[in-house]
Amino acid sequence: MRNLLDPVRVMLFDIESSDLEASFGHTLCFGYKYLGDKQTRVLSLRDFPEPPKEEEPDAHLLVRVNDLLTNRADIIVTYYGKEFDRKFLNTRMLMCGLSPLPPLSHEHVDLYYTARGNLKLHSNRLQAVSESLGCPYSKTPVRADTWRRAQRGDPKSMRYVIDHCRLDVDILEWCYLKLRAFVRQHPRVGLGGSCRACGGTAFQRRGFTITKAGGRAQRLQCQKCGMWDTQKPGVV
């Protein structure tokens, strides 16, 4: 069990489902990765024993997902996850008799809003963002027939869905590292005096900014991730 002295863990995750509405579909797989880890993990229906017919098909999978998001992550990163992934998971968890996920505010970084609020692209979809910024990974297409066969338990189709989910998490991580400097209310990952987004300690002084009180503050830029911050007058 983790405690307050453990390092902050940033988890990036994505889900694949059999339907866009949780009342009609269920969770096929849950892909996740801790920032800095080499391995992207995917939990799917095939990793858990098939539940009895009276139980929801993703009940056992969601027990594990609930534990991961509740107990094993301090900050979560998604793409459009506030509107889809979290709502879908909470709905399915309630339908499976599980407790909902803990409420999150700034601890949930949703890159969809970061991209929409700071970039001017032809589309705000993850594929458009990753391609425009030069991501070396390419998303695989979503084919309705493949998802339907995966829902019915076809092994080949399920492998495709799992690989698709894993790649989405890898692309999400790449875009997060590109865009985290724009997350103005990023949860602090390091100690005071370090960069709130990456924990870096090397800053460059870049002019001054006017504070809300009408004074001036030193403008700083992290040399590791590019995040901007300010330093109060008199602070060394």
Kindly indicate the confidence band of residue 234, based on its pLDDT and cuts at 50, 70 and 90: low
- What pLDDT digit, counting tens, does each position of 81-122 carry? 999 999 999 999 999 999 999 988 789 999 999 999 999 999
CA distance 203 to 104: 30
Name the residue ranges covered by the structural domains of the chain.
10-182, 200-236
Task: At 29, give phi and psi (nearest 5°).
Answer: -160, 160
Per CATH, which fold does 10-182 belong to?
Nucleotidyltransferase; domain 5 (3.30.420)
Contact 59, 95 (CB under 8 A): no
> Phi then psi for 45, rounded to 5 degrees?
-60, -30
Q: Cα angle at 68 between 67 and 69, to 5 degrees?
A: 95
Is the model's pLDDT at 14 over the cut of 70? yes
Residue 161: the pLDDT is 98
* CA-wise closest residue to 151 among 51, 55, 19: 19
- pTM, two decimal places: 0.92
Q: What is the pLDDT of residues 137-149, one digit of tens each?
A: 999 999 999 999 9
pLDDT of residue 3: 64
